[in-house]
Copies of this chain bind each other. A is one copy, B any other.
Amino acid sequence: MPAKNIIPFVFAVPVTAEKPSLQDNTADLDRLRHALRATLPDRRPLEIPFARIVVLCRRFRQAGFSGVALVNDLPERWVLADFLSEMPATLPAMALDLGTTHLEATLVDLLTGRILSSAGCENSQIEYGADILSRIHQATNIRRQKREIDFSFIDPGLAVLQQSMVDCINTLTAELVAGCGVEAGEVRALSVSGNTTMTHLLLGLDPFHICREPYIPMVNGVEPMESRELGLILHGAAPVWIMPSIGSYFGGDLISGILASGMAASEQTRMLIDVGTNAEVVLGNRDWLIACAGAAGPALEGGVARMGMRAAPGAIEYVSIDPETYSMEVKTIDGAPARGICGSGLIDLVASLYLARIIDVRGKFRDPARENDPLRAAFMRQRLVMRDGQPSFVVVAAKDGDDEVLLEQIDLDAMIRSKAAMYAVLATLVNQVGLAFVDLAEICVAGAFGNHINPQQAITLGMLPDLDLSVYRAIGNSSLRGAEQVLLARSARQECLDIVSKITYVELNVNQEFMIRFSGARFIPHTDPSLFPTVPLFAEQKE
């Protein structure tokens, strides 16, 4: 029996009962229940689902009234899910990061905590709409045509999306188990971290009101359901943990990230930055948590620039321009021919352009004709071109039939807005609780963004605060890490619920302070350069 706080979501308990006799004619199920009850570490109710009674009693008898019970540790009760004749070699469970565009999953052994395999795939719902809003529309348009529907059933449009997501998860499950010699039916639990809309679509819940004022989800927290209720190919009685959300724009993926960052258990104050479609930021410690979300993300994920793309082969992920020699280096993911530029490449590029004085503090391309430095002027004449009537920078020239990769002025403008929004979000949030950046013990940067960006370049742009680089920590796919943690320990599951109950959400779209800070941050690095002492200043700022 593990210590109470590290009880996994499903755990295996050896159970031995007396055999029946004329002196002890207790019913099979009661015999099993009593023997199991004696081994459970607390007195919460023990539920035996009606649908499991026949199989439980048969296996209990076949095993000679002695074997191993599999018990689901739900928030308010125990659920007896299965009975095995002996302790299994592994007890696989699946952790899933259910992203809008991408799914990532691992198979975890609940007996040892070991990762058995991992896999990822594109969210197959993309065929019904690349972004959340188009999927919400898809899910609800049929409902609006047929008003007299039978409310007992999921709407047809929603059912299509739910099935698509389930198919996608089932395919991923098959891939996960293929590599490690288990059957999908042997996967005994699932945990899912997803944003509020993805969670609704998986559960077959109507997301109609999520994107309409006052932005009300159908559910935030939902009790674990059984895998078979969703149509998954895991074991039918596998409990499914859905990471709770705290609103339409603050989903379970971020709760999972907070859990994985460790900040909600930390004495010192930390910050978590998760850049996806939105920039979501959380600040706090074990006593309090404050969070906000802002539309700072798209440019940083490569979603705004015309040549922007996700971090994938052919995406420019690294750029440097020598400010003395103007020699320029570009690296793509996997060294493939350049097809576009991802978030980290964009930050590198724009920071390099600033340091090489190709762009000014407002993020505008400078005029080569007014340039005094001959080397820089030559570089600018070579790289700056007019396309569609606006100045553009040639990152990679067309070659061997591959298109050129351009950074247009319009992309630069979007990038400046995004970085300004990001900095304004961070500064506003820290100020809300009367702290300064220097009070932070750590800034965790989650996701692909966190793994790829160079914090120094982000500081140069004035996107992240000018702190010692040791303060920054890339924590990878924290949404998936949190999902793994809830599979393995009751304390993690409890912490999720605690996070939800103690977090305060700040709405920045209507925040006056945010708007002022946003305006001040629309320069490189900032209107007030004293905030960025390590970033070089150039003549125009000193003037």
A positions within 8 Å CB-CB of B: 20-22, 24-30, 45, 47-48, 50-51, 53-55, 57-59, 76-77, 151-152, 154, 203-206, 209, 213-223, 225-226, 229, 247-248, 507
Contact = CB atoms under 8 A, between A and B. Distances in A.
B229 A29 contact: no
Contacts of A29: 218-220, 222
A205 B57 CA distance: 9
Contacts of A221: 27, 30
A361 B58 CA distance: 53
Contacts of A204: 54
Nearest to A225: B50
Given A45-B77, A50-B222, A205-B57, A27 B152 contact: no
A229 B50 contact: yes
> By CB atoms of chain B within 10 A, which of A20, A22, A50, A58 has the most?
A50
Given A20-B216, A206-B57, A223 B48 contact: yes
13 contacts: A20-B214, A22-B214, A26-B216, A27-B219, A27-B220, A27-B247, A28-B216, A28-B217, A30-B220, A50-B223, A54-B206, A58-B151, A76-B77
Nearest to A224: B50
Contacts of A51: 229
A219 B28 contact: yes
A51 B222 CA distance: 11
Contacts of A215: 22, 25
Contacts of A219: 27-30, 53, 57
B151 A59 contact: yes
Contact of A248 (B25, B206, B213, B217): B25
B247 A25 contact: yes
Contacts of A22: 213-215, 507
A50 to B, nearest CB: 4
Contact of A53 (B26, B76, B222, B507): B222
A54 B154 contact: yes
A62 B247 CA distance: 21
Nearest to A20: B216
Contacts of A54: 151, 154, 204-206, 218
B151 A28 contact: no
A505 to B, nearest CB: 9
Nearest to A45: B76
B50 A218 contact: no
Contacts of A206: 54, 57-58
Given A57-B206, A59-B151, A77-B77, 10 more contacts: A22-B214, A25-B247, A26-B216, A26-B220, A27-B216, A27-B220, A29-B222, A50-B229, A55-B151, A57-B205
Most buried by B among A45, A54, A55, A226: A54
Contacts of A24: 214
Contacts of A222: 29, 50, 53
A131 to B, nearest CB: 21
A226 B76 CA distance: 20
A20 B77 CA distance: 31
Nearest to A210: B27
Given A45-B77, A50-B223, A225-B50, A25 B205 contact: no
A205 B51 CA distance: 10
A218 B25 contact: no
A45 B223 CA distance: 11
Contacts of A214: 20-22, 24-25
Contacts of A247: 25, 27
A51 B206 CA distance: 13
A195 to B, nearest CB: 14
A17 B76 CA distance: 25
Contacts of A57: 205-206, 218-219
Nearest to A31: B216
B152 A55 contact: yes
A215 B27 CA distance: 9
Contacts of A229: 50-51
Nearest to A247: B25
A218 B151 contact: no
A294 to B, nearest CB: 17
